[in-house]
Copies of this chain bind each other. A is one copy, B any other.
């Protein structure tokens, strides 16, 4: 193959995808059943409930994440197309992994039963993989992305299993660390896979008005349905009051977040102009922070203050830290997941700790603080170690990564019929 073309994946992607899909199919044949009891056990309402929640999360995963990644001017097809491929694989794998490792997904005779709750949890695990992918978009090929997302889902479920086994952490608590886990995993992979050739600035890594609007689309779908994302797992009867608080809190904090994101973006620009990518990303940071803190938030204004701070930090991070990360640490972060997910996630974790401690005393408070810190430390260890390991494996040239010049470019992977048919 002449050096001006990106390496063909014809012998790689179909092979890997067919092998994995066949494996998944076999595992589904022997292990997975549909939970027929669902309708009988839980009366009709909770089901309608969960199906609507499931769809909101579904839209965020497949539409939201996909179109968020279309902001690069030449990477729209890959950004949205690969997202669907990875998410479709990761969801299947997450159903299996959750079933194998976490007892709440297994039923008598050891089989995995699919229910709305298990599918929502699988999609939330997939979300953590898609966040990780955000850090390496444009610099990896779909084979690498596919392996990375499956390893990330494995790591995320293993982390849940560790937290449950060692610390008796409940599912909701550990799932909501998905933002921190996914983003740091992705940043680690991106750090290991660093390419000198995309520094200081890759000529194709830019945005224009039309791709900004496509990304606006993804952003809005994420932004609008985030209350459902945060509250989707709160479906049992005794969690309803909390569910309500989470919905209103997420909604109001996201409203504050948009205002702060635009103001910060304009204030930190020398010409007083807003940056579409920064605004879109920072506007979502409130959802992340509230997602981690939510079980401790009881008043709308607390949620709004958390949203305010998350958006402020995220906005400043985009202006001042993103380039610093690239030059000082050689870590390129395509979608800025560090600023959208890691920092607001840590902020939310911290807010959670403070809010809980405020209502506790003496030994109980110390116990909770230690427990809360251990949960974060274990999660950080797992995601950092697995991220680095995954990066090292993906660096292997057997995966045929594209050349530096072909980064952030759809033409490495997609046919363009109009170019082909031009005489």
A interface vs B, CB < 8 Å? 5, 8-11, 13-14, 17-18, 21, 25, 28-29, 32-36, 38-39, 44-46, 48-49, 51-52, 55-56, 58-59, 62-63, 66-67, 70, 73-74, 76-77, 80-81, 84-85, 88-89, 91-92, 114, 119, 142, 201, 203, 206-210, 212-214, 216-217, 220-221, 223-225, 228, 240-241, 244-245, 247-249, 251-252, 254-256, 258-260, 262-264, 266-267, 269, 271-277, 279, 283, 298-301, 304-305, 308, 410, 413-418, 421
Contacts and interface: CB of A to CB of B under 8 A. Distances in A.
A263 B85 CA distance: 10
15 contacts: A8-B273, A13-B272, A17-B262, A18-B260, A18-B263, A33-B299, A34-B249, A34-B299, A35-B244, A51-B247, A84-B223, A88-B254, A88-B259, A210-B210, A274-B415
B274 A81 contact: yes
A77 B213 contact: yes
Given A48-B45, A271-B8, A209 B76 contact: yes
A47 B389 CA distance: 47
Given A52-B52, A308-B21, A300 B418 contact: no
A34 B244 contact: yes
A63 B224 contact: yes
Given A66-B220, A81-B279, 20 more contacts: A8-B273, A10-B266, A14-B266, A25-B304, A33-B299, A33-B300, A39-B244, A45-B45, A58-B224, A63-B220, A73-B418, A76-B213, A80-B216, A84-B258, A91-B255, A119-B248, A142-B262, A206-B418, A209-B416, A274-B413
A92 B249 CA distance: 12
Contacts of A89: 255, 259
Per DSSP, chain A at the interface is helix
Given A49-B48, A252-B92, A274-B414, A74 B209 contact: yes
Nearest to A271: B8
Nearest to A7: B272
